[in-house]
Amino acid sequence: MAEEKFYKYVIVGGGVSAGYAAREFGRHGVKPGELAIISKEAVAPYERPALSKAYLFPEGTARLPGFHVCVGSGGERLLPEWYAEKGIDLLLSTEIVKADLASKSLVSAAGTTFKYEVLIIATGSTVIKLTDFGVQGADANNIFYLREIDDADKLVAAIKDKKDGKAVIVGGGYIGLELGAALKVNNLDVTMVYPEPWCMPRLFTAEIAAFYEGYYANKGIKIIKGTVAVGFDSDASGNVTAVKLKDGRVLDADIVVVGVGGRPLTTLFKGQVEEEKNGIKTDGYFKTSVPDVYAVGDVATFPLKLYNELRRVEHVDHARKSAEQAVKAIKASEEGGSIETYDYLPYFYSRSFNLSWQFYGDNVGDTVLFGDNNPESSKPKFGTYWIKNGRVVGAFLEAGTPEENKAIAKVARIQPPVEDLEKLTKDGLAFASAL
């Protein structure tokens, strides 16, 4: 007979949110056998951002168990033993293939049924693949995507195998920029290709992007903009040999990394729960439209109080905080209490080479650049403020100290008025530090 299991709480997904939710359950006290984390991945929750950074470095390499959650936010590292000690069932290599929210049950690929009282959906995102659009030759070997640790392991093996070879990065977003740098550090000959006029256009201004593109060029990375990959050549063994671009150019390639975006993994719940902006709609406690079902991290479309609108955020800081908020809300409601609604300040960051930037707030309105954004400088340091309706609503800083990053976060949170944009350019960081 098919197996059936019952848990008071089930978290489906075993990524960043799941790990931070588990820690929060642990803080509140969870009885043995009450909580299960069901994850497709074979390892306990880890800090996913490491996969595109130190995991790929030839020196100072990060490997598990080094980056299990919650080390990314300076917290305790939850090893598999931690879950065992707490009596939390970590059900790894277990994919949920069916969900029936009405009967409160999930079914795994192996046929086990999981019944629950409270469900937290933490399935995260999946990558968009070029094969999804039928791009010719896109199923060749050595064309990589990066989402889970298995993907990273395959890429690491290819980097070793194709020593000093040629790499083409398709996409100029987070993954493109971080992977371009990581492959260069591994001594590959790197070319980046993206259709937009500058990298990371969803966040960067042209001036910010010009700095990073200049810096990458100085490192020997070739950047081709305004065109896309339309096909791939491969050899008799099926290994990729070249990337064909829409503008007619053909780039030799031993390794291709594609970073063209993600898609929240909500398919299991389609038609059973209210959706908004491609995600599962929640309130400020991450409760969905279905009783006892919560959604956190990349899949949640939640009220962003500060801007009075619903948003979905695909960043690690929100994954951590939304998970904690949901567990606090679950626990409070069990005790007949209540907590404040989620009040999130958007925070994104990235690191590559010796560079490191942080952004807080909203990137809307006019912009003001300050500091030294010359990629040739020995110590470039610069930032940008976004100003809407006479107030600073967003702030970006490259090479900030922890105190300076705190100061720009404060700016984005309190949204101070600003009258003289030219003065803001000159004052730069002093404006933030004086608040």
Q: Which residues are at the interface with ligand FAD (CB under 6 A)?
A: 12-18, 38-41, 48-49, 51-52, 95-96, 122-125, 146-148, 174, 265, 268, 297-298, 314-317, 319, 348-350
Peptide bond before residue 65 is cis, with ω within 30 degrees of 0: yes
Residue 231 Cβ vs ligand FAD, minimum distance, rounded to whole Å: 25
Closer Cβ to ligand FAD, 264 or 371, answer by number: 264
Closer Cβ to ligand FAD, 86 or 321, answer by number: 321
- The residue with its CB nearest to ligand FAD is 15
- What φ, ψ does residue 358 adopt, rounded to 5°? -135, 150
Closer Cβ to ligand FAD, 44 or 368, answer by number: 44
Residue 47 Cβ vs ligand FAD, minimum distance, rounded to whole Å: 8
If you write DSSP's letter for every residue of 60-71 in order, what string do you get? S---TTTTBTTG
Distance, CA of 349 to CA of 18 (rounded, Å): 21
Closer Cβ to ligand FAD, 162 or 320, answer by number: 320
What b-and-e string marks burial along 366-402, b requiring 16 or more CB atoms within 10 Å of the CB?
ebbbbbebebeeeebbbbbbbbeeeebbbbbbbbbee
**Closest alpha carbon to 10 in 76, 82, 94:** 94
Closer Cβ to ligand FAD, 239 or 301, answer by number: 301
Closer Cβ to ligand FAD, 12 or 293, answer by number: 12
Residue 132 Cβ vs ligand FAD, minimum distance, rounded to whole Å: 17
Closer Cβ to ligand FAD, 314 or 398, answer by number: 314
Residue 418 Cβ vs ligand FAD, minimum distance, rounded to whole Å: 27
**Closest alpha carbon to 370 in 349, 392, 348, 338:** 392
Helix and strand numbers, DSSP H then E, in the chain:
9, 26
Closer Cβ to ligand FAD, 108 or 142, answer by number: 108
DSSP state of 377: S
Query: Which tokens go with 217?
Result: 């060029």
If you write DSSP's letter for every residue of 85-117 in order, what string do you get? HHT-EEE-S--EEEEETTTTEEEETT--EEEEE
Residue 95 Cβ vs ligand FAD, minimum distance, rounded to whole Å: 4
Residue 79 Cβ vs ligand FAD, minimum distance, rounded to whole Å: 17
Residue 55 Cβ vs ligand FAD, minimum distance, rounded to whole Å: 9
- What φ, ψ does residue 23 adopt, rounded to 5°? -60, -40
Residue 324 Cβ vs ligand FAD, minimum distance, rounded to whole Å: 12
Query: Which tokens go with 12?
Result: 């489906």
